[in-house]
Amino acid sequence: MARHRPPSFSMLREMHVHNRKKLQNAMAEKLESIGQRLAGVVLLQGGEERYRDCTDHLELFRQESFFAYLFGVREPGFYAAIDIATGQSILFVPRLDPDYAVWLGEIHPPSFFKEKYGVDAAYYVDEMVSVLRKFDASLYLLHGLNTDSNRYCKPATFQGIEGFEQDTKVLHPVLSECRVIKSELELELLRYVNEVSSAAHVKVMRSAQPGLKEYQLESTFQHYCYMEGGCRECSYTCICATGENSAVLHYGHAAAPNDQIASDGAMALLDMGAEYHFYGSDITCSFPVNGKFTEKQRLIYTGVLEAQKAVISKMKPGISWVAMHKLAETKILEALKTAGCLKGNVEDMMENRLGAVFMPHGLGHFLGLDTHDPGGYPQGMSRINERGLVSLRTVRTLEAGMLITVEPGCYFIDAVLDPALEDPVLSRFLNREAIDKFRGFGGVRLEDDVIVTSDGCENLTNCPREISDVEDVMAGGPWPRT
């Protein structure tokens, strides 16, 4: 009955088999390159269910992403191993209390999960030590820095681990890199979540009207994704901002919960994406709540759209992401100059990093099992310590198979504008009166999910972007165009 048809579970299982094979090959290559023998077992610990504070309120479990990438296991409390030499994959299943059958459902034996997830063997968690002993080799555990959160993931741990040789250095960079380059099977899934999310955005655009609460747009989005696409969760908390809220980059959290009224004449900036089987999407649409762009809205929107189109037209293997960020800045600065907000030479502005005043975030980020997928800064690569560029979540050169968001934005943020107007260098370019007219305007962001191909790129997102398309779809016109 749903409008969209998700990938089959057997396709998803195959995808994880492929992900494991890829890791096995990459680990073998790595061990060879550092002169270690082809032996050892990759061991990961899956996530655990959590309760809210001291209560028995069980939070909906979502598997840890590295574990999900390799095994696709939806249940909590698992461990899993891959033997690097042979590729043999093993799941370790928690032994459940008989009460589970009454409260939570049928209790399945390890053989059930072996079949379900397509691994080579499955045992109970309490058999793990004896099973792992047979391999007589080091455990490669996952430990490393997430460069978006600046926090480290925790290596697997279990009673008896002290009896094994452990390595916590080799695995993380290798596994992170596997996730950076998407396979054809992953792409199929990623296309699906983008298809659902794009259609949901269109649904929301058509429902928008002055007087609605922002959360009603959020609810409309979530309902479409779940009802028509089977996506139970979003990749991240929906950002449903209208008016000046659209200048708050991560609006929508508990302290600013999408609860304002969308007013006539305001812009909406909706950053929302569905997740399916752990893989997410990340899409932003900006449009006038009442369906018709004002002249001011048109000026800013056009700058952002030109930036997005310019970047996507250039994306292909070998292109520097930093160059793309700068290209987007240039387009936005040009539009702001046209709008009368800026004066002077755009090249000078770029040299003085003026772009960051209007786009304080990076142009985009890797996307996959996490909204900010890992691998943006592999070992040896580091952030560029310049205004705006420091916010980039990656500075890598594009490669085929990278999925990256292209999300230029232009915002009028008092907390950024006021210091800039006081800054002796930046203020030279700023036309205070014109800028003041945009105070309270909020911002515009356009975000598409784009995969780099062998000779260019493919845009997975399909939302109305041209002003004429946005106005037409909001007036009830068809989408996609046929």
Q: Rounded to an integer, what is the distance from CA 68 to the centroid of its chain?
A: 15
Smallest distance from Mn ion to CB 343, Å: 31
Binding string, residues 379-418; x marks residues near its own copies by CB under 8 A: ----------------------------------xxxx--
**What is the Cα 455 distance to its own chain's centre?**
23
Helix axes 9-33, 110-117, angle to 10 degrees: 90
CB of 407 to its own copies, least distance (A): 14
Q: Which stretch binds Mn ion (CB under 5 A): 63-71, 204-212, 280-288, 464-472?
A: 280-288
> Measured at the alpha carbon of residue 462, what is the angle toward residues 271 and 17, in degrees to the nearest 5?
85
Q: How many Å apart are CA 421 and CA 399, to the nearest integer?
A: 39
Residue 421, both tokens: 């107007």
Residue 387 phi/psi, 5-degree rounding, is -50, 125
Q: Of 369, 365, 367, nearest to 65 (Cα)? A: 369
List the one residue from 64, 83, 275, 282 that touches Mn ion (CB under 5 A). Answer: 282
CA distance 164 to 246: 52
Say whether residue 52 binds its own copies (CB under 8 A): yes
Q: Closest CB to Mn ion among 280 and 464?
A: 280
- Could you say whether residue 256 binds its own copies (CB under 8 A)? yes
Q: Which of 155/464 has CB closer to its own copies?
A: 155
What's the closest the beta carbon of residue 219 comes to its own copies, in angstroms? 4
User: What is the β-pairing status of strands 121-124 and 89-93?
Assistant: parallel
Q: Pick the stretch among 117-125, 251-259, 451-459, 465-473 that binds its own copies (CB under 8 A).
A: 251-259
Contacts of 266 (CB under 8 A, 6+ apart): 210, 242, 243, 288, 289, 442
Quote the CA–CA distance of 139 and 291 in Å, as a whole number: 58
Distance CA 399, CA 122 (A): 36
Q: Shortest distance, CB of residue 91 to its own copies, whole angstroms?
A: 14
Among residue numbers 389 through 408, which ones bind Mn ion (CB under 5 A)? 405
Stretch that binds its own copies, among 29-37, 74-82, 175-183, 265-273 (CB under 8 A): 74-82
The yes or no reply on residue 10 touching its own copies (CB under 8 A) is no
282 binds, among its own copies, Mn ion, none (CB under 5 to 8 A by kind): Mn ion
Between CA 425 and CA 349 the distance in angstroms is 10
Q: Is there a contact between 240 and 250 (Cβ–Cβ < 8 Å)?
A: no
- Cβ nearer to Mn ion, comparing 330 with 405: 405
Comparison of 286 and 405: residue with beta carbon closer to Mn ion: 405
Neighbours of 3 (CB within 10 A): 11
Single out the residue of 5, 37, 253, 428 in contact with its own copies (rule: CB under 8 A).
Answer: 253
Compute the distance between CA of residue 36 and CA of residue 68 in angstroms, rounded to an integer: 28
Among 8, 10, 33, 55, binds its own copies (CB under 8 A): 55
CB of residue 307 to its own copies, shortest distance in Å: 19
Nearest to Mn ion of 83, 195 (CB atom):
195
Within residues 24-43, the interface with its own copies by CB under 8 A covers none
From the CB of 231, what's the least distance to its own copies, in Å?
A: 10
Q: Which residues contact 460 (CB under 8 A, 6 or more apart)?
A: 190, 191, 194, 281, 403, 448, 449, 450, 451
Q: Which two tokens stand for residue 375?
A: 């691998």
Q: Which residues bind its own copies (CB under 8 A)?
A: 1-2, 47, 49, 51-58, 60-65, 74-76, 98, 101-105, 146, 148-149, 151-154, 211-213, 215-216, 218-220, 222-223, 226-227, 230, 232, 236-237, 245, 248-251, 253-257, 259, 360, 370-372, 413-416
Q: Which residues bind Mn ion (CB under 5 A)?
A: 282, 405
